[in-house]
Amino acid sequence: MPLLPSKNNTKEFDQSAVAVLTDLKKGGNDKRNEFIWVHQERIYAVALLGTGDHEHAAEVTISSFNNAFSALNQGLPKNPDMSIWDWLSQYVVEAMGEYHSQNSGPPDEEDTDPAQDGSASMDWETTVLLGVQRVKRCIGSLPQELKRIFLLRHSLDLNYEQISIVTNQRVEKCMALLYRARVQVVKCLGRG
């Protein structure tokens, strides 16, 4: 199984949470199993990037779905505009927070200033014009810590607060690492 789910068919993740969950509540175990099948790869990818261990990632994935189904038994989301991924991602982030509280120390207090390397002023959107294969090659060449942050943000659509919980790092450090990852990708793209 690849590390990241394909982004070719994001239709499943952009659907309304209320619509999907209403349908899920009406269905039985088959509907629940289908829901898990559709979303497990993406949940597992977040868990693996957060834990760095396949066994722990599987445990976090199971915990995420258990928490999501428990919440579903309590009722549907209040926000009718919420996508199913936005609803489901909160449970993997919550499970990662629990994982880190049991298995990791507190986040590092290292100060990181994105202004130091000029990464705070990067225009990420312009890199999209340079070609998907080149971008993938450059992302693949990132150091593991930067690649992890980059993938959580740009492939799995987590926000800074969620990335902070998943990686057990301060939000500011996540932002700085993401900027540095972007700078390295842009520099790599510039070399061709």
Beta bridge partners of 16: 83
User: pLDDT tier at 14 (50, 70, 90 boundaries)?
Assistant: low
Which tens digit of pLDDT belongs to each residue from 103-135? 877 766 665 555 554 444 444 455 455 566 777
pLDDT at 119: 47
List, in sequence order, the alpha helices (H) in the chain.
11-14, 17-26, 29-51, 54-74, 84-103, 132-140, 144-154, 160-167, 171-191
* CB contact burial 136-170 (16+ within 10 A = b; e otherwise): eebbeebeeebbbbbbbbbbbbbeeebbbbbbbbb
pLDDT over 60 (residue 88): yes
Which tens digit of pLDDT belongs to each residue from 156-182? 889 999 999 999 999 999 999 999 998
Domains, the chain, in order of start with CATH, read 11-103 (1.10.1740.10), 114-191 (1.10.10.10)
Lowest mean pLDDT among 14-18, 32-36, 69-73: 14-18
